[in-house]
Amino acid sequence: MSEPHAHRGAVALVTIVAEAIVEQRLVRDLRDAGAHGWTVTAARGEGPRNRRVGDLEGGNVRIETLVSHATADAIMAKLAADWFPHYAVVAWVADVEVAREDRYL
């Protein structure tokens, strides 16, 4: 009998919160950077600048993807160059353990 942790591995979880209107463009950039899949959910909240205009024009989305660390680096570089200077986008990366890691690398 195998151990319960035998099929878990470390990958990067990239989480992006942005205005819903830019969802499709962000997803395209994820795909172009090498992500194979993602999950998009509605998001709401308040940050250092209080409520964003996007809250009134369609809300926000939270986009999450499990990727290799190299792909996470590529995604964050793209966000830093093309998104952070121009849009209300926040993103973070966390190391996570995932079952079936081969699907994300």
Average pLDDT score over the chain: 86
Contact 20, 54 (CB under 8 A): yes
Q: Residue 68 belongs to a domain with what CATH number? A: 3.30.70.120
Q: Is 85 within a domain?
A: yes
| Number of separate domains in the chain | 1
Domain assignment of residue 40, yes or no: yes
Q: What is the arithmetic mean of pLDDT over 9-21?
A: 93
Residue pair 7/82 in contact (Cβ under 8 Å)? The answer is no
The domain in which residue 30 lies consists of 21-100
pLDDT for res 57: 63
| pTM assigned to the model | 0.84
Residue 101 has pLDDT above 50, yes or no: yes
The answer as to whether 2 is a domain residue is: no
Band of the pLDDT at 55, cuts 50, 70, 90? very low
Would residue 12 count as lying in a domain? Answer: no
pLDDT of 65-99, one tens digit each? 999 999 999 999 999 999 999 998 999 999 999 88
Top mean-pLDDT range of 1-5, 18-22, 27-31: 27-31
